[in-house]
Structure 1
């Protein structure tokens, strides 16, 4: 939607940017009586959002199993992602690492939790007990998955994404699906942005991004992590092009060509 971003409190006269705060209440006095003070309405899909995974890290450090915190982690990830968008006050934002890492954590911990609860790996001799990480394994027993999830819980809120080569085999599809969903969200906002800033070259790239995103979804995300990364890189090159780096259109094309 298009909104006026600059607001002024009718009670105390304070001014603030709705684009930055997402709040209609005055940050100085709390009054809900405010008016827009700029004429231009700008496209805006993003809202301020934070995620704090600290309590879950503390629980794990105190001996909780990953499955014990899974529901809370997934809930907080969903809440964060629902608030996020990629157009702020008419400006197109990049597909950032925090959005990607939180998306992946939400998908990966849901997969891990489901498999642990139904005992997918419960028949393995080492499936029970405590892992070398000091985390209760429950019935799942996939130490690579545990290590990978812990790395996401440790760093997702700061945009720390594991490298493609470090993805646990059992969570490869979760990463692929998470990235496909993230690209779909991003593509929709770029399409909205192009309604105001039409560009035929960008539109063609966006159509190719859509095709690859749908392919990734159709495959259930089960592709090599490096392939999903190429799609992310294409989206980022497209954003740079639309924000003034003309040479980045060719870069976006090159990333997509590797997926053809």
Structure 2
């Protein structure tokens, strides 16, 4: 939606950036009486921090199964974070960042791991490694994904790319570009293919979708024609 990012308190005159706080409450006096003082711009992001500290403490001792109450609480934390995250900030298109990718993957990894009949040590190590670094945007490389956990990587990245594509399309409402729309259409077809395979695809292949999405965005932000050409070729070459 389009909002005014610069606000001024009608009570004390303080000005602040709504894009940074996500609140109409005056940071100085607490008044809710404020007005926007600039033009409206597309904005889909909200201030959000992913903190998995308490979940790491709970899951660190898990062996073959995960604590049921812990699973529900972890998924609630991840969903709450992802609901707030968007990729347009004050009219500017942001990259698809690693923390969003890791959060999406971890959301699926909880279910994938919990449904394994006989999790292996590599499966457990991978899950705990993802949990350890997700809030900092750190996750294992594609080559390190165990076979049993491939669906989590595939579905997580597919969900993240789908959400990102939606925001890029919103951005294009104010910055029309038919070439970008065309490549986004091809990207969506590949995402649907990953979804139809329940995410069980080569992690290196699904990583290409993430790279292509960010290349499309770089083209739009920087007028980098080479980035769009690279994204188009990357998507067309994918075999899923």
What's the TM-score, normalizing by structure 2?
0.93
Take 2:21 and 2:234, find their aligned partners in 1: how far apart are those partners? 35
Whole-Å Cα distance in 1 between the matches of residues 62 and 206 of structure 2?
32
Partner of 1:193: 171
Does the CA-based 8 Å contact 2:59-2:66 persist in structure 1?
no
Cα deviation per residue 1:175-217 (whole Å; 9 max; x = unaligned)?
A: 1011111111111111111111001111111111111111111
Cα drift, residue 59 of structure 1: 3.0
Query: How many residues were matched structurally?
Result: 235
CA contact 2:112–2:151 (8 Å) conserved in 1: no
1:89 aligns with 2:67: no
Q: Contact 2:151/2:199 (CA < 8 Å) preserved in 1?
A: yes
1:258 aligns to 2:237 (yes or no): yes
Distance 2:28 2:42 in 1: 26
Unaligned stretches of 5+ residues in structure 2: none
Task: Tell whether the 8 Å contact from 2:212 to 2:231 is kept in structure 1 after alignment.
Answer: yes
Matched, 1:47 2:26: no
In the TM superposition, 1:212-231 aligns within 5 A as 212-231=190-209
Question: What is aligned with 2:221?
Answer: 243
Q: For the residues of structure 1 that align with 2:186 and 2:233, how far apart are their CA atoms?
A: 12
Instruction: Please give the alpha-carbon distance, in whole angstroms, between the structure 2 residues aligned to 1:209 and 1:34.
Output: 41
* The structure with more radius of gyration: 1
Contact residue 5 and residue 17 of structure 2 kept, 8 A: yes
* Aligned partner of 1:203 among 181, 187, 211: 181
> 1:233 Cα shift?
0.6
Secondary structure at 1:85's aligned position in 2? coil
Query: Any unmatched runs of 5+ in structure 1?
Result: 122-140
- Distance apart, 1:64 and its partner CA: 5.1
Cα deviation code 1:25-69 (max 9, x no counterpart): 11122111111111x1101111111111111222345x4556123
Q: Work out which of the residue numbers 132, 138, 142 in structure 2 matches 1:154.
A: 132
Cα distance in 1 between the residues matched to 2:232 and 2:210: 12
Matched, 1:10 2:10: yes
Matches within 5 A, 1:39-78: 40-61=39-60, 63=61, 67-68=66-67, 69-78=70-79
TM-score, normalised by the number of residues in structure 1: 0.86
In 1, Cα distance between equivalents of 2:225 and 2:139? 28
C-alpha separation in 2, matches of 1:67 and 1:46: 32
Q: Does the aligned pair in 1 maintain the 2:46–2:85 contact within 8 Å?
A: yes
Structure 2 residue 109 is matched with structure 1 residue 108: yes
1:71-129 Cα distance to aligned partner (Å, 9 max, x none): 2221111110011111111111111110000100011012222x15xxx22xxxxxxxx
